[in-house]
Amino acid sequence: MSVFKNYIAGEWVAGTDANRNVNPSNLDDVVGEYARADKTQAERAIAAARAAFPAWSQGGIQARADMLEAIGNEILARKEELGRLLSREEGKTLPEGIGEAARAGQIFKFFAGEVLRPEGEKLPSIRPGVDVEITREAVGVVGIITPWNFPIAIPAWKIAPALAYGNCVVFKPADLVPGSAWALSDIVARAGLPAGVFNLVMGRGSLVGEAILNSPAVDAISFTGSVETGKRIAAAAVSRLARVQMEMGGKNPLVVLDDADLPTAINCAVQGAFYSTGQRCTASSRFIVTEGIHDRFVKAVEEKLKTLKVDDALKQGTDIGPVVDQSQLDQDLSYIDIGVKEGARLAIGGERLNRETRGYFLAPALLTETRNDMRVNREEIFGPVATVIRVKSYDEALAVANDTAFGLSSGICTASLKHATHFKRNTQAGMAMVNLPTAGVDYHVPFGGRKGSSYGPREQGSYAREFYTIVKTAYTMPV
Ligand code: NAD
């Protein structure tokens, strides 16, 4: 089997080690062998990006827009094939995989348009005769470090704006799921960018990730991943005054009030918590339900979960694919156990499932009769496991929803305009959803959270420029 290589300074380069990428739906299926870079190779990639930066950042914007457009078009034209690869290596279902690949293409096309919408202002000075210009410039070399759960969309929503605003990129994808990242990099590498503008360095966080973090030649780091890693990234970046943007975990609440439309609430709950195997940072993990609807809601969620097909991600008709790997599966099972020991009732699911192929299949689990101070309601589980917390009123629901260290997404199901409006104003989350699942966002508007979920400026849409550009104020006295 040939090894997929890294892309450094415009060339495909063998690694110092290789990584076996295995299909979580079928452990006998090896997706491919992917090169792992070491510290020296990461430093070469950073040096190449540094060298390419002056010409790229000052280069013509039409050519840059055309390149991003071409990347977006190729991704969209190949979305079925890329989606299949994604589902095969990560385990989300084929329609979800194709949807994510298409999203990556749309993001590149959006930022192709942004290249041609540069911002600037020219103002009178308070000093007569002087002109003031406010412009945005590229930041420099951006290190992009991504997680395994959205292996093409998250890289796309960082790489596309980085390049669009004139930065050079050193991209380190998650070690667990490098296939989609490699396929995306192959498309970028063929789009006509000058050597060094974009570099792919697959490998371990402790080697390649740390090399990016600690290099004085990397001006900015955009990271998505766990809180634990995020804290290391922030400490390293701040200690050398590098710009940093981080998206991390969630413990997203879905409030369901007595007046909610039950089918809508069930759809929001099941879609939001269990699809993509619950492995979404925006997944609903705490259902906070008022007394009058509680029993009907729990029963209806149970009934719906019984109808869902958990199987091979690539099989037609599969609703929920496998958990990504053994260690995530162990974590999911362990949290279910912790919940039960703390007094929760395992209403349904939570058992390992055997299918035709050897894979990490887990029946979606619902823990009821939980309290918000239980570990299953405090810590991110990151699997197809959700809890129900019974509350007496809207006010109590809002207080419980906000009583968390996280603040990425939050939702409410209600027919009351008063409660929906109050919730949008008072939820301590970056994103608020009314009668919609907590997961599922648009790409032309800002994405991000509060508290322990995010740090630094927002991602996506035109708000991405806050991170990927730096403002300059220039004064001119014409003499
Ligand atoms: P992770 O933190 O283990 O890894 C993320 C990336 O950081 C990987 O590329 C990893 O190799 C790298 N890394 C690890 N140690 C490093 C180090 N010392 N220095 C530099 N880089 C290092 O996260 P994961 O398990 O891949 O992803 C799951 C997590 O991501 C969950 O917590 C989830 O909530 C979060 N996530 C958040 C969002 C969001 O937008 N808020 C989106 C998706 C996933």
Please give the biggest Cα pair distance in the chain. Answer: 81
Q: CATH classification of 3-248+453-476 is 3.40.605.10, yes or no?
A: yes
Out of 168, 281, 380, 413, which one is annotated catalytic? 281
Counting from 1 in the atom list of ligand 1, the atom nearest the Cα of 150 is: 43
- For 390, the token pair is 């019974």
Of all protein residues, whose CA lies closest to atom 17 belonging to ligand 1? 205
Is the Cβ–Cβ distance between 300 and 266 less than 8 Å?
yes
CB-based burial, 122-154: b 16+ in 10 Å, e otherwise: eeeeeeeeeeeeeebebbbbbbbbbbbbbbbbb
Residue-level pLDDT at 297: 98
Residue-level pLDDT at 92: 98
380 lines ligand 1 (CB under 6 A): yes
Residue-level pLDDT at 1: 73
Tell me how far apart the alpha carbons of residues 467 and 463 are, in angstroms, rounded to a whole number: 8
Tell me how far apart the alpha carbons of residues 169 and 7 are, in angstroms, rounded to a whole number: 11
Q: At what angle do helices 153-164 and 179-189 cross, to 10 degrees?
A: 30
Residue-level pLDDT at 379: 98
| 212 membership: H or E segment, kind and range | helix 210-214
pLDDT mean by block of 10 residues, the chain; 479 residues: 94 96 98 97 98 97 98 98 98 98 98 96 96 98 98 98 98 97 98 98 97 98 97 96 97 98 98 98 98 98 98 98 98 98 98 98 98 98 98 98 98 98 98 98 98 97 98 96
Residues with Cβ within 8 Å of 479's Cβ and at least 6 positions away in sequence, in order, are none
Is the Cβ–Cβ distance between 10 and 199 less than 8 Å?
no
Q: At what angle do helices 153-164 and 61-77 cross, to 10 degrees?
A: 160
Ligand 1 site-directed mutation target among 89, 100, 149, most atoms within 8 Å of CB: 149
Residue-level pLDDT at 227: 95
Tell me how far apart the alpha carbons of residues 194 and 163 are, in angstroms, rounded to a whole number: 12
Identify the residue whose tokens are 């007496």.
Answer: 392
| The CATH number fitting domain 252-434, selected from 3.30.56.10, 3.40.190.10, 1.10.3720.10, 3.40.309.10 | 3.40.309.10
Ligand 1 site-directed mutation target among 177, 204, 206, 229, most atoms within 8 Å of CB: 229
Alpha-carbon Rg for the chain, nearest whole angstrom, is 23
Tell me how far apart the alpha carbons of residues 30 and 401 are, in angstroms, rounded to a whole number: 42
Counting from 1 in the atom list of ligand 1, the atom nearest the Cα of 454 is: 41
Identify the residue whose tokens are 């409030």.
Answer: 255
408 lines ligand 1 (CB under 6 A): yes
CA 158–ligand 1 middle distance (angstroms): 14
Assessment of whether the complete model's pTM goes beyond 0.95: yes
19 lines ligand 1 (CB under 6 A): no
439 lines ligand 1 (CB under 6 A): no
Residue-level pLDDT at 308: 98
DSSP code, position 357: S
Of all protein residues, whose CA lies closest to atom 20 belonging to ligand 1? 209
User: Same CATH fold, 252-434 and 3-248+453-476?
Assistant: no
Residue-level pLDDT at 217: 98
CA 264–ligand 1 middle distance (angstroms): 32
Ligand 1 site-directed mutation target among 177, 281, 404, 441, most atoms within 8 Å of CB: 281
Catalytic residue at 413? no
Tell me how far apart the alpha carbons of residues 402 and 63 are, in angstroms, rounded to a whole number: 46
251 lines ligand 1 (CB under 6 A): no
Is the Cβ–Cβ distance between 455 and 230 less than 8 Å?
yes
Catalytic residue at 281? yes
Q: Delimit the domains of the chain by residue range.
A: 3-248+453-476, 252-434
